[in-house]
Structure 1
């Protein structure tokens, strides 16, 4: 021991994760809820219901799996999604002795009113075609941490942490009617949820890890997704796709943990060629039945995106998510794919709202 400022590594990591997490428990501060977002879709403003044709189809619209006509395997594909304010907090938290109430409180005061967000995901999976039916199976592990600090005099940390893990599989097939595809996915999921308020005294207490465990609730269940896509050729090299996807039907009851509400999304996509480049233009209207969010603001439900496939290994995209700019890039090689994107979510209160800029990156190894 050099100066008594080196707490146990496990304790330090647990507290850093808690501080770096999680969302304010007031509903007004929460972004529009979505379950598991892929990097490509985020770069396109979240507009993916009618154009899902990769591994994210199992999350957005399983009808997109109908185009899977070859074997594809992803063995390791870590995704990291982090808010801009959290980048600074990571460095500052590493220098804090969380056994000290004073140091912990000082750190919390520095970030009063700054919305913290981090999400990590692994989804190893395999996709293949059997009897002209595209199929996918995968294992999901994901946690999302969000936080907000209030009251600079004696700061309080509002915490919400969600960890999901489980198995899922889906299939998509082309129906006899020309241009019509349908898909179905089955999800067996477990969830752990922590939602609480902690002071600096709570965090610096010796039994804080035990309290985190006591405050965590869990549950498990089974749900399904299904969707359809209809594609119509308009002019040579230009196709229009209309789609509808129903997610989490029936509603997945996790017991004491937050449920996964049934969500109905509409989508439209235009595939064309422009100056020799493959171009996709997409639009989504999410949660049209207002089951997931009571906010019926059309702007929050509307997502717009465009993507261009460049020669060789690259594709670029941009869009609007809740009216905020998004962008992304994919570099694909034989066994490695790198995807990056930036997007923003609206956070705040009913009286004051602002955009929380986020950055997401995924490295995928497979074939």
Structure 2
């Protein structure tokens, strides 16, 4: 249980790079993936627990949805540039090792009485990672970096009485960061030892708590306005690290410590329009408060001779960012019970150029999606979707760590799930 922090300290020690860049995962539902998460004013599926808890109040009976998304990111690095400090100039291409991440989700709701529904969701809102060859040119910046989280969210939705101005629904959920894990490794080449790679396996010290509030307003049957707010969640980690053969006089092998990470808040403003009997369209604006990840402070249980202190503070400098998501759904597309979805989105990166590194190379990106659902019976529906992400090529000559080059990233995200209604 005592593993994460000391590894993070090493991460800083080597060359000033740290954790990950924009590491949120918005793919919290197979059904919503088909519309690229443009789902916060869509109140006809139990995964509204994540996207807008107010939508729960419109669900009757017992509903269950479960599924998973496979996230397969692929990144390359070309360089380093001649301007890179302490790195040989090169135009060589390095491929990140192929990894696939399994991201599950589960939702269930039960109508207590008309207009009042309770539910629970289990999802993974933050994670991913990278793995580079242990002998690549950037081995002192990153070799293996990964983080995973699992949240549990009990939720309730309520439809307000009729005030003669349309339907108003509200909802709230308690977000519990129930599980967290980190794995990190990198090289320290300054000491000419055979094993110069440090590594760690760390875990969440105790659950982090936040909240999710939602509002839906339906002025008429054709238009729905949605708003939801997800608070930041403070998470505390602890850990110890393996320093390989590095000198223990500078890097004590029994070092322990702790740090606090604030997973960012976000809010969504959404508009859903019933364009025709079978076609609905939605646009969502998503804001992320990444500026909360401005600095990472690590407290150790003893002084670290390499630093001359028992505390290490590292500036991350993340900036607030936004996303624009547009999606559509067409019901009974030529066949009764066959529904089709599509979406397009643009995500702004929160990572400034001066803090860019290969732990999780990030840049602005475009996303494209398609999805399908088919009713196998009156009670059981199969859902499938696919997302393609293309990040903009990022040419970096400004990193404070001096490791400059060109990053390219894309990802494929297939998903499959089931929805049940009783």
Common fold by TM > 0.5: yes
Structure with bigger helix share is 1
Runs of 4+ in 1 over 6 A off after TM superposition: none
**Corresponding position: 1:71 with 2:59:** no
Tell whether the 8 Å contact from 1:192 to 1:219 is kept in structure 2 after alignment: no
Structure 1 runs not aligned, ≥5 long: 1-24, 87-108, 200-204
The 10-residue stretch of structure 1 (263-272 or 251-260) with the greater mean CA deviation from structure 2: 251-260
Deviation for aligned residue 1:129: 3.9
**Corresponding position: 1:59 with 2:50:** yes
- C-alpha RMSD over aligned residues: 3.7
Residue from 65, 70, 75 that aligns with 1:81: 70
- CA change 1:118–1:111 in 2 (3 A) is farther
Tell whether the 8 Å contact from 1:191 to 1:254 is kept in structure 2 after alignment: no
Larger Cα-atom Rg: 2
Where does residue 230 of structure 2 map in the other structure? Answer: 247
Residue from 186, 205, 226 that aligns with 2:213: 226
Q: TM-score, normalised by structure 1?
A: 0.68
- CA change 1:117–1:172 in 2 (3 A) is farther
Mapped to 2, the partners of 1:54 and 1:38 lie a distance apart of 10
Where does residue 164 of structure 1 map in the other structure? Answer: 150
Residue from 148, 155, 167 that aligns with 1:179: 167
**Corresponding position: 1:137 with 2:120:** yes
Tell whether the 8 Å contact from 1:43 to 1:343 is kept in structure 2 after alignment: no
Equivalence map 1:1-367=2 (5 Å): 30-31=21-22, 33-34=24-25, 37-74=28-65, 77-83=66-72, 85=74, 112-113=95-96, 116=99, 118-123=101-106, 125-140=108-123, 144-149=127-132, 152-153=136-137, 155=139, 156-177=142-163, 178-198=166-186, 212-213=200-201, 215-233=202-220, 239-248=222-231, 251-256=232-237, 258-273=261-276, 278-287=278-287, 294-295=318-319, 300-310=322-332, 311-322=335-346, 323-334=366-377, 335-344=380-389, 346=391, 349=394, 351=396, 352=406, 354=408, 356-364=410-418, 366-367=420-421
Q: TM-score, normalised by structure 2?
A: 0.60
Deviation for aligned residue 1:165: 4.5
Q: Deviations over 1:17-68 (max 9, x none)?
A: xxxxxxxx767x7447245621222221221111243122111111111211
Structure 2 runs not aligned, ≥5 long: 1-16, 76-91, 188-193, 238-259, 294-317, 347-365, 397-405
Tell whether the 8 Å contact from 2:386 to 2:413 is kept in structure 1 after alignment: yes
Mapped to 2, the partners of 1:192 and 1:267 lie a distance apart of 30
Q: Deviations over 1:292-317 (max 9, x none)?
A: 785556xx511111111124222111
